[in-house]
């Protein structure tokens, strides 16, 4: 093949274009990681309590399901502070609404699951901080392993009012892909452990709950409308358990306790961000 002066110039020009496009991908990822945002959220609650045989109580005891609306604040930054592409992020969200309650009475006499149906008010609070380091896989892909510390609270309206709280720590990875300019897709996985789990049943008892493994997965799409204004949508899924509490005397030769439970949250988010 014979290259003319014009064809060589064309090849160089095309190479520069592809080079700029490739670097733009990584650049767009870093830009998306340097922004503060506010989001509207909807959290689907899927909560189930089960008996573990204590006092003959077994099977499904009660459930709460439904979506509650709220808002979230977030801020993240990726800079060359210590190791290069250091990543720091923090989030806080608050939701409030009503869920559908299905359960039964412990008694005496006890009634089966499904014999009591109603609604319960719910307030959810989550917060987290994260540190990681981004690694460029190729011109359009970045992988950021990280460590995370956070907490969760649930004010539950059943009975006399119940408040569940826990903290957690975990390790995870954030994968980010920018197929075209201004658009960044993110996928996130984390595995951790809850600690300091507690329940406070208003006016009845307060005590520790068993801790458990916690898992989180999520996907997000971020689009830069201009240099500073970004729009984003995403969905996150979180799962963990609360272990059974101790027995607490509540008078009249009667004891109370909190049974084992499993909590699953699916949060849908849509919002705006300001890149800095």
User: What does the domain layout of the chain look like in residue ranges?
Assistant: 5-275
- 0.75 cut: is pTM over it? yes
Average pLDDT of span 246-263:
92
> What is the tens place of the pLDDT at every residue in 147-157?
999 999 999 99
Which has the higher per-residue pLDDT, 6 or 198?
Answer: 198
Instruction: Give me the pLDDT at residue 253, please.
Output: 85
Average pLDDT over the chain reads: 90
Average pLDDT of span 237-241:
98
Percent of the chain topping pLDDT 70: 90
1-5, 141-145, 204-208: least confident range: 1-5
- 101 and 116 in contact (C-beta within 8 Å)? yes
Classified by CATH at the fold level, domain 5-275 comes out as: Lipocalin (2.40.128)
pLDDT band (50, 70, 90) for residue 251: confident
pLDDT reading at 5 higher than 80? no
Instruction: Give me the pLDDT at residue 40, please.
Output: 98
pLDDT band (50, 70, 90) for residue 25: low
């Amino acid at each position: 093949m014979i290259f003319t002066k014009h064809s060589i110039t064309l090849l160089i020009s095309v190479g520069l274009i592809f080079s700029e496009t490739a670097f733009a991908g990584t650049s767009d990822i870093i830009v998306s990681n340097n922004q503060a945002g506010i989001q509207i959220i909807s959290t689907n609650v899927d909560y189930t309590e089960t008996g573990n045989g204590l006092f003959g109580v077994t099977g499904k005891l009660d459930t709460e399901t439904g979506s509650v609306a709220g808002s979230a604040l977030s801020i993240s930054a990726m800079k060359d502070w210590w190791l290069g592409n250091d990543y720091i992020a923090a989030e806080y969200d608050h939701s409030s609404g009503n869920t559908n309650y299905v359960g039964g009475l412990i008694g005496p006499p006890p009634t089966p699951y499904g014999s009591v149906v109603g609604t319960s008010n719910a307030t959810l609070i989550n917060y987290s901080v994260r540190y990681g380091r981004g690694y460029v896989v190729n011109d359009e892909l970045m992988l950021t392993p990280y460590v995370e510390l956070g907490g969760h609270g649930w004010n539950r309206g059943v009975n006399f009012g119940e408040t569940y709280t826990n903290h957690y720590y975990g390790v995870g990875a954030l994968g980010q892909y920018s197929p075209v300019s201004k658009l960044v897709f993110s996928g996130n996985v984390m595995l951790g452990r809850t600690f300091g789990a507690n329940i406070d049943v208003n006016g009845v008892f307060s005590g520790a709950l068993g801790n458990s493994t916690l898992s989180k997965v999520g996907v997000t799409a971020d689009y830069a409308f201009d240099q500073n204004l970004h729009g984003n949508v995403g969905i996150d899924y979180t799962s963990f358990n609360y272990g059974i509490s101790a027995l607490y005397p509540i008078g009249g030769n009667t004891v109370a306790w909190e049974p084992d439970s499993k909590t699953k949250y699916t949060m849908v988010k849509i919002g705006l961000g300001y890149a800095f």
